[in-house]
Amino acid sequence: MTTEKLYVSKNIRLKPRLWLRDVSSSKHIALVSEAGAWRRFGSGVEKALKVAGYKVHRHLLPSGEAAKNWDAIADLLGTMLAAGLGRDCALVALGGGSVTDAAGFAASIYLRGIPWVSVPTTLLGQLDSGLGGKTGINLAGGKNLAGTFHRPRAVVCDPAVLATLPDRERVSGLGEALKYGLVFEPALWAMITSHWDELMAGDPALTAKVVERCAAWKRHIVDQDERETKGPRELLNFGHTLGHALESAAGLGVLRHGEAVIWGMRAALRLSHERAGLKAAFAAEADRFLSTIPVPLPRRVEPKRLLALAHRDKKARGGRARFVLLHAPGRPAVMTVSDSEILRAVREIL
């Protein structure tokens, strides 16, 4: 098992000699991005790589969830093959979660696996999705249903790239950060909720602190259970069973991932009170805060459709949906939940 090295500092993305030095013996780099991230940051990273002596082979994936399908992966693999990249090369993924998911997946299967570096350009990517090595693409049946475990050798988190992040992307990242607070570190939940306005305004010091705390938790959990077979890594899915279902039901790309997780956490808090003994006062207080976050809700989402999608979730066992629930803040547990309980929770939040 190789724990990814984590770099968090201003303009670290422009110092590839530092974060590539132990990654590859080759000077050939596949630099993978998408149009939006490339427009803002691509030329700077490409120039820094060239100045450091690397031969750069650029490839742009489609934007958003469109990057996460077989055709997009085949195009990327074809570019790498045509460039003559060998197993000693490395891939650098520059972009949000869709880019790191798709590019990391390509790195895991190209020539049976090459090293890669994650350079996330969104808050969600820096504190969660860019770490841990869960790579993948979507299938017609749902989100992230095909993929591999292939950890990046390094994760490069540059606070400078978040300065102009749109509000919805910031909410998406903070939604995932709130999950870490509820499941692992109640003090982090308290910090985020009490400094919400400053974080939404992009306060660099506070944002870096949130990134560092969440990233530390992600690496700690993944080190214990890299392939999600022992239990600890499953705890990272609080709010995700119905969150992923809502993403799929709304149409991939309509909701940001962290926005869907916020809805999923609201349902999970209700189920935690009913099934796991979470105190009603805390469940209500946490739900009140989550309900104030401006997250869109797609219309015409049928509760029974969400239930069917929850049954397709990778954590489902024996036809029953499994949820990460809370006995108390910082005390999670995984439980099976009945269809009637799921439907009741869904109808209360929609």
Give the E-state strand segments of the chain in sequence order: 5-8, 28-34, 55-61, 90-95, 116-120, 134-139, 142-149, 154-157, 321-328, 331-337
pLDDT digits (tens, 9 = 90+) for 205-257: 999 999 999 999 999 999 999 998 888 999 999 999 999 899 888 887 789 99
| Helix, strand and coil percent figures for the chain, each rounded to 5 | 55, 20, 25
Q: What angle do CA 18, 68, 323 make, to 5 degrees?
A: 95
Rounded to the nearest 5°, which phi and psi values hold at 274?
-75, -40
| Per-residue confidence band for 169, with pLDDT thresholds at 50, 70 and 90 | very high
Is the pLDDT higher at 179 or at 350?
179
| Total length of the chain | 350
Determine what percent of the chain is predicted with pLDDT higher than 90.
84
pTM score, whole prediction: 0.91
Alpha helix locations (H) across 68-138? 70-82, 97-109, 123-124
Q: Which domains does the chain have, with CATH numbers?
A: 5-162 (3.40.50.1970), 167-349 (1.20.1090.10)
Mean pLDDT over all residues of the chain?
94
90: alpha, beta or left, given left = phi > 0 and alpha = psi -120 to 50?
beta
What average pLDDT does the segment 300-314 reach? 82
What average pLDDT does the segment 258-262 reach? 96
What average pLDDT does the segment 86-97 reach? 96
Q: Under 8 Å CB-to-CB from 301, ≥6 apart: which residues? A: 246, 249, 250, 350
Token readout for 240 is 């995700």
Token readout for 102 is 């798709």
Per-residue pLDDT, 15: 98
Per-residue pLDDT, 321: 82
Token readout for 31 is 């630099």
CB 246 within 8 A of CB 264: yes
